[in-house]
Homo-oligomer: A and B are copies of this chain.
Amino acid sequence: MSDVFRIGDLARLTDTKVVTIRYYESIGLMPVPERSASNYRVYGKAQLDRLRFIRRCRDLGFSLEQIAELAALSSDSRQPCGEVDALTRTHLAEVEAKIADLNALAAELRRIGAQCHGSTTISNCRIIEALDHRP
């Protein structure tokens, strides 16, 4: 296990597409790496960790903007940790709101879907009727 990586190594190790890593670099989320003689990007362990952090946060549904903030906060160990806590809480609230929305939506889709028993053509299909008029 060397501690020098090329972009494809990082991609494999973090389950990220190569183009996505370059994209992260272009928006300033990943640092601009050194280049080899043949102009290949060269990364070290620190950048691998950075990318792992980013992907982990993505998996948790944070936006890239939130991740940039989290990364900035986490890099200074003397920063108060309240902001990280607040960011996490805010995000959780957003996720919970979205869950509530989707639950309401699923309920209505089930209600609508249940009405199509037996009918075989659009003319007597209750789904279309349900879609046509507000509940």
Contacts and interface: CB of A to CB of B under 8 A. Distances in A.
Interface of A: 49, 52-53, 56-57, 60-61, 70, 73-74, 76-82, 84-85, 88-89, 91-92, 95-96, 98-99, 102-103, 105-106, 108-110, 112-113, 116, 119-125, 127-128, 131-134
Contacts of A61: 102, 105
B102 A102 contact: yes
Q: How many copies does the complex hold?
A: 2
B56 A116 contact: no
A79 B127 CA distance: 13
Given A81-B116, A122-B74, A109 B95 contact: yes
Contacts of A81: 116, 119-122, 124-125, 127-128
